[in-house]
Amino acid sequence: MTTTTPNFLKNTTAPSEAVRKAIVEAKELPILDVGPYLAGVPGALEQLGADVRHIQENLGFFAIINHGIPQTLIDESFHQTAQLFEISGDEKNKHRVGYHHQGYLPPKSSILQSTAIKEKIALNTKKDTNSAWLFMRERDANDPKVKANVRHRGLNQWPSSLPTFKSTLYQYQTSMEKLGKELLPIYARALNLRADYFDSMFQTPEYYQRCAYYHPEEKMEEGQFALAPHSDGSFLTLLPMTPVPGLQVMTPNKEWLSVKYVKDALIVNTGQVLNRLSNDHFIATPHRVINPPHKRYAMTFFFYPDDDASVAPIAECVQSGEKAKYDSRTFYDFFVPYLDDLYHYNDTNFMKEVEPERAMAQG
């Protein structure tokens, strides 16, 4: 006779007083030390699970320290990202973002809109001022999804004039992927699930890497942002902190909290995938980037499950008296319409490539 371990395992640990205080005061992000957990200290997982549960039910953003990503790698990645936006305009335009949403996105070339938060914030109609380079999971020409031209699963566009950029950023991405996997048990325990619950969903996790340059604008249009208010589509998002201000997070009172710099810390938040899985119990918090005082760079890492993983609400997260608030679909079937809903390009050549795909999806 074989037995199975139940998914639901109540975490009775209380959130720390520091986490409670940070959320009540809403002046800065809660800071969690994940070092003891990563070192296997007994009780650390349960405490982080309780803290993350309280954060994700209320604010949705926090910072982690002692996360194991070498600061030298983060610093070099920032250095390489800054160089990325200094290459010639001709080379940038050879790598313009297209059908797969991979490549260079010029400033003021898209409008960021999100129906998921339309009721919380007025619909954005202004072009974002930031520029960006967009990367998905690295693949080669023999990858089955590349051969089949699966949308958003193409070849990344790497600038030839920066010979060490690819190797540096790839190391950064794989380090972030490893950390993302290491954080999965925390979210499982936060949802009162067994620690290994998410393992099967992240065998070959997808990710989306956004290297952004927020250049100061002398004059912004009314209602325009460096990056307009939105909520992420990720399971979780990892973002190294920078001393240059600009990122703002919406608090439970619908006020904007300006994120304060914490040395060597990573910002962590969850997006719509975990929002769906938790049946809305873990929030996907709106956030934005305002015009910075001087040059600001960001290396946002959006961490996703496998393409074929289900993102329907987890049965144990549908509480007594509730109904599942989301349909049953794979992550990939969620991801494509999410990006189409969020990014609205004013590049007619791009739209010629994308609109047939949208028409087929709607047909």
Quick check: is 114 in a domain? yes
CATH code assigned at 334: 2.60.120.330
Confidence of residue 80 (pLDDT cuts 50, 70, 90): very high
> Is 227 among the domain residues?
yes
Give the dihedral sign, CA 133/181/239/247: positive
Q: 3-class DSSP state for residue 352?
A: helix
Position 93 in a domain: yes
Quick check: is 229 in a domain?
Answer: yes
Q: 278 lies in which domain range?
A: 17-362
Helix extents (H) in the chain: 17-25, 35-38, 44-58, 71-84, 89-94, 144-147, 165-190, 272-277, 331-342, 348-362
- Residue 132 lies inside a defined structural domain of this protein: yes
> Is 263 part of any domain?
yes
What confidence tens digit (pLDDT) does each residue in 280-306 have? 999 999 999 999 999 999 999 999 999
Q: Which residue has tokens 């319409």?
A: 337
Q: Which of 73-77, 106-110, 201-205, 249-253 has the lowest mean pLDDT?
A: 106-110
Domain count for the chain, please give it.
1
Residue 279: inside a domain: yes
**What's the pLDDT at 1?**
38
Mean pLDDT taken over the chain: 91
As a whole number of angstroms, the distance between CA 172 and CA 70 comes to 10
pLDDT tens string 200-224: 999 999 999 999 999 999 888 888 8
> How many alpha carbons lie under 13 Å from residue 231 in its C-beta half-sphere?
25
Q: Is residue 318 part of a domain?
A: yes
Select the more confidently predicted residue: 109 or 200.
Answer: 200
